[in-house]
Amino acid sequence: MENRLYYWKLACYETSGNLPKRAIGKSNFIDLSLLPKETMREEYRRYFLYRGGQVSLNTICHEKAYYHQVCKALQLRKNIPDSFLGWQPSKWIELLKIWMLQNGIPLYEEKESVYGTRNRADAKVIQHLKRFLRFIQPEDMRPERDKDIWDLKKLDIPIKENPIYKTETLDFTGILQEGLREEVKQAIFLHIKYEKIGTVKRELTSLRKFSGYLMEKDIKINSCADVDRDLLEEYLVHINTNGSSGRGNSDDILKLRAVLESVGKLYGYSHLESLFINTDIPPEVQPVFRSYSDEELKRLNAHITKLDVQLARCMVIHQMLGTRISDTLTLHTDCLSKRNGLDIIRIDQVKTRTFEKPISAELAMLIQKAIDCTYDQYGKTEYIFVDAKDPCRPLQYTTIKHKVLRLIKSEDLRDDEGKLFKFSAHMFRRSYGVKLTELHLDDWTIAKLLGHKNISAVKHYRKMSNQLLAEETRKAREQQTRILLANLDGWGEEYEQIRQDD
């Protein structure tokens, strides 16, 4: 078998363009002879052929450098298996780390996310080896429900998902106690049938936190049957005193209760159904509602035009409609219509219901331009804004969020308080609602334009309006002045100064 894997055999080669091809020069192949065993060479050959269909040629060149480092690390041991499957993945990774330490190569690297936070991650070569070892693992032939990572497509259950968030798997490996993990799997399988996948993911998160607490405190439990009231109270004290912000604590406990109660029903652990009491659920931390000021909107919009043209259209349309970001990203290409000379848009809200409202002719033209752009690039599609990798799906929330955050960071865009802007898509909706209140519209009209079922949320928009606050304060001060002036008579000349100042 040939020990050279030439780049032209990879799927990414044809789509790479001339510049990457010129950059690689004469070193246009991957030398598999650096590996000591024939089976290892075949395993890496299969990996690079697969990888070439997933990433660019430039990425393959980087992976080639990591591959060379792995080959050097293998020289540390004389007696190694014929295949990378001969050892557990952890042993290969340990061997690589020893070689890295001997050669002064850091095991970790600092990464800064688009959110501005810094985290520690494995070095690129370790990530490469882990990715390769995952690829060569034999296919798990067990039923999907028996695995620790579920492929949702293989469950044969209709998944209720928000289309702007793509979820392909559910990972149970974070539940560290094996017996606990198997019981939770059965409860989660039941919940998937009637809950949205976002809710199910939050339930799994709450169980991972609980499992981590058990491991940290060295509490030997291998079944939900062993969870009693004393243990629960210790856990409740922990999450309320561990120094976190407290946001989400009530939701975590509610999700934990939902899963444990389902486990109790499925396995006959009757005490789990009455384990929680109402006072276990702490009150939610009330958010401080805030909207963008006019100056902040001007600052943002002046730079939004630097985004890709379709993304810029998306952000402008999002502001002008006052919808949730999920409703903007899932606008259908047939959403526009004419009625009595007015442009009407149909908004299919992901969270609640479908509603219609009139829009300006200029906004209708902008939306039609976005539709035409999508048709020209992808053909006829269901959504106006689509995922470039899968045009059958709407543009993903994480895609637009990361691009806007990168723009904010690169342009150093700051709010009125001097802080870097965050990507808070709902702030645009609040700003829209505040503008409606400043037009002195009634509550029902505001609720209808925002797509709310009732008027209960309108009060929050009124509280956020600086203009309304100023007007209400002015009225209150004028009333106080009238009362004061009406009571000045007879108090003497020195008090008449108040009347003169007024």
The model's confidence at residue 179, banded by pLDDT at 50, 70 and 90, is very high
pLDDT for 30: 92
**Of the residues 246, 280, 314, which one is the last residue of a structural domain?**
280
Identity of the amino acid at 142: R
Confirm if 311 and 400 have CB atoms less than 8 A apart. yes
Does 417 lie in the same domain as 320? yes
What is the CATH classification number for the domain harbouring 303? 1.10.443.10
Does 180 lie in the same domain as 76? no
Q: What angle do CA 60, 65, 66 make, to 5 degrees?
A: 95
Let me know if residue 432 belongs to a domain: no
Does 401 lie in the same domain as 358? yes
**Of the residues 240, 257, 280, which one is the last residue of a structural domain?**
280
**Averaged pLDDT, 378-389:** 93
The model's confidence at residue 428, banded by pLDDT at 50, 70 and 90, is confident
Let me know if residue 446 belongs to a domain: no
**Of the residues 366, 401, 424, which one is the last residue of a structural domain?**
424
The model's confidence at residue 23, banded by pLDDT at 50, 70 and 90, is low
Is pLDDT of 69 > 70?
A: yes
Give the count of domains, the chain. Answer: 4
**Averaged pLDDT, 139-148:** 89
Is pLDDT of 160 > 80?
A: yes
DSSP one-letter code for 268: T
pLDDT for 445: 85
Does 56 lie in the same domain as 159? no
Confirm if 348 and 330 have CB atoms less than 8 A apart. yes
Does 264 lie in the same domain as 313? no
Does 211 lie in the same domain as 152? yes
Alpha helices (H) along 75-196: 89-102, 124-136, 178-192
Is pLDDT of 487 > 70?
A: no
Let me know if residue 207 belongs to a domain: yes
pTM equals 0.77
Let me know if residue 170 belongs to a domain: yes
Is pLDDT of 355 > 80?
A: yes
pLDDT for 215: 93
pLDDT for 461: 75
Confirm if 138 and 153 have CB atoms less than 8 A apart. no
Does 85 lie in the same domain as 22? yes
Average pLDDT value for the chain = 87
Let me know if residue 437 belongs to a domain: no
Does 323 lie in the same domain as 415? yes
**Averaged pLDDT, 33-39:** 93
Does 166 lie in the same domain as 52? no
Instruction: Tell me the residue range of the domain where 106 lies.
Output: 4-136
Let me know if residue 153 belongs to a domain: yes
Distance CA 4, CA 455 (A): 69
pLDDT for 397: 92
Does 160 lie in the same domain as 262? yes
Is pLDDT of 484 > 70?
A: no
pLDDT for 278: 86
pLDDT for 493: 61
**Phi and psi, residue 367, nearest 5°:** -65, -40
DSSP one-letter code for 382: S
pLDDT for 281: 84
**Averaged pLDDT, 189-199:** 93
Does 336 lie in the same domain as 274? no
Let me know if residue 229 belongs to a domain: yes
pLDDT for 249: 81
Does 319 lie in the same domain as 255? no
Let me know if residue 242 belongs to a domain: yes
Identity of the amino acid at 314: C
